[in-house]
Chain A
Amino acid sequence: MTQPSPSFFKAVLAIARKDLAAEFRSRELLSAMLVFSMLVILIFNFALELNVDIRRTVTAGVLWTTFAFAGTLGLNRSMAVEKDRGCMDGLLLAPVDRSVIFFGKAISNLVFMLVVEAIVIPLYAMLYNETRIFQLEFIGVLLLGSIGYIAVGTLLSAMSVQTRTRDVLLPILLFPVAVPVLLASVKASGAIVAGLPFKDYVTPLNLLIVYDVIFIAVSYMIFDFVVEE
């Protein structure tokens, strides 16, 4: 493995830019993720009867479940387009370190997820008059949780896309491994929405950071093994 150099970051950004350009022209993935998110929230609304009392305790859970589901949709699609037309082989032929592909894909996946969150959260706030989710701390937890989820999700989607069952397999592989991210995020953002002081949610926050660091490092190290032919 080569030492990261300026060209390493340039190559990562090139792959991310390629994905973003393709997406902002077709808008296939983002529109699917957004519509799906709204449908999930709609179902939660009636399934849980989201009135004021219930909302106070379940807002964080509803939002994170929505993002986790929408996230698998995006992860599946973003890897499938690479595989279907043989684009992955082209990327692998490029004279760059394999981890460049991982970081490039992870960044574009993260951007998609953040765009969805940036639209869904104001919508949720408007629908339920829930302004407590516009806090810097809440956004920070959202960012940390999304980073961890996407890091391990990008690695696993590169794997699941090469199996016979493909799309069906990703959530089954991803959710048990991503349980810590989702639970820690729900715990931390739930505490923020409830207006608890910082010391009440510093532990889940720390665990989120630990998870992010470990899983980014591990994904970086083992992505080679996932894409090699």
Chain B
Amino acid sequence: MQQKPILLTILDVLSIIGLGAATYFALVFAPTEAVMGNVQRVFYFHVGTAWVGLIGFVLAALAGIVYLITKDAKWDRFEVAAVEVSAMFFFITIVLGSIWARPAWNTWWTWDPRLTTAAVTELVYIAYFMLRAGIEDPEKRARFGAVYALLGGLSAPITFMVIRLFRTIHPVVVGNGNPEAQGGFDMTGSMLTAMFVALGAFTVFFINLMWHRIRLGALEEKVEQIKLKVSM
């Protein structure tokens, strides 16, 4: 049995502390938003999860390319980890967004570019898992997974640009604002602090989960090999 690395244990602890701190900063430290009230506090975790979901998505596509070039199984494990973790975070982002959108936009859902792209990305992830589930040969499973992760990564930005042709009401809080946006707000200094704490906490949490998942993938493979050896 492979020993759990000490650094991973440290990351576990750091993630717990980070998430605790992010919760404190979002719920207590940050001031209540003047118009929307307390529901705006969901925003800090919404941005945090969306950020790591996006990182995971990009990492999966890159890992797909590296796998196709090197054919090294460790990149396949990396890609699966990135897709799984990012799929979960994207889902949380959508749920948190809906919770905020209900009072702010008076609807759970609208076909806005960001929302639609997030939904399409989730569908790409589901298709990715179904594709992998349908293939027995591990080498072929890895190869097809890499190809599909790459195609998904390429089409997502174009999806976003296409849907932007239709109307959007999603607020842009960082950078240039959208004049048609509904529910936007200006951030004060302590709101920014709370947002960056959430971003940092979720980044650590993401790295931690990725590491766990990659390690799990390696262990899975080892179990597989031992089973083969026993049955022979």
Question: Which residues does chain A contribute within 8 Å of B204, judged by CB atoms?
Answer: none
In the complex, A159 Cα to B148 Cα: how many Å? 9
Using known A-B contacts A177-B155, A207-B162, A222-B68, determine if residue A172 contacts B127 with beta carbons closer than 8 Å: yes
Beta-carbon contacts under 8 Å, A175-204 to B: 175-180, 183-184, 187, 203-204
A225 is contacted by which of B131, B134, B146, B163 (Cβ under 8 Å)? B146
Contact A163 B143 (CB under 8 A): no
Chain A, interface SS category: helix
Chain B contact residues (Cβ within 8 angstroms of A): what range?
20 to 34
Question: Which residues does chain B contribute within 8 Å of A184, judged by CB atoms?
Answer: 162, 165
Q: B77 to nearest A CB, angstroms?
A: 18
* Cβ contacts B112-130/A at 8 Å (1 or 0 each): 0000000010011011001
Residue of A nearest to B148 (CB): A173
Contact B68 A225 (CB under 8 A): yes
Q: B17 to nearest A CB, angstroms?
A: 37
Contact A173 B131 (CB under 8 A): yes
Contact A180 B158 (CB under 8 A): yes
Cβ of A64 within 8 Å of any chain B Cβ, yes or no, is no
Chain A contact residues (Cβ within 8 angstroms of B): what range?
20 to 34
Q: A6 to nearest B CB, angstroms?
A: 30
Beta-carbon contacts under 8 Å, A193-222 to B: 203-204, 207, 210-211, 214-215, 218, 222
Chain B, interface SS category: helix
Cβ of A25 within 8 Å of any chain B Cβ, yes or no, is no
Question: Which residues does chain A contribute within 8 Å of B130, judged by CB atoms?
Answer: 165, 169, 172-173
In the complex, A16 Cα to B161 Cα: how many Å? 34
In the complex, A226 Cα to B64 Cα: how many Å? 13
Residue of A nearest to B143 (CB): A225
Contact B165 A204 (CB under 8 A): yes
Contact B147 A225 (CB under 8 A): yes
Cβ of A113 within 8 Å of any chain B Cβ, yes or no, is no
Cβ of A164 within 8 Å of any chain B Cβ, yes or no, is yes
B158 is contacted by which of A156, A210, A225 (Cβ under 8 Å)? A210
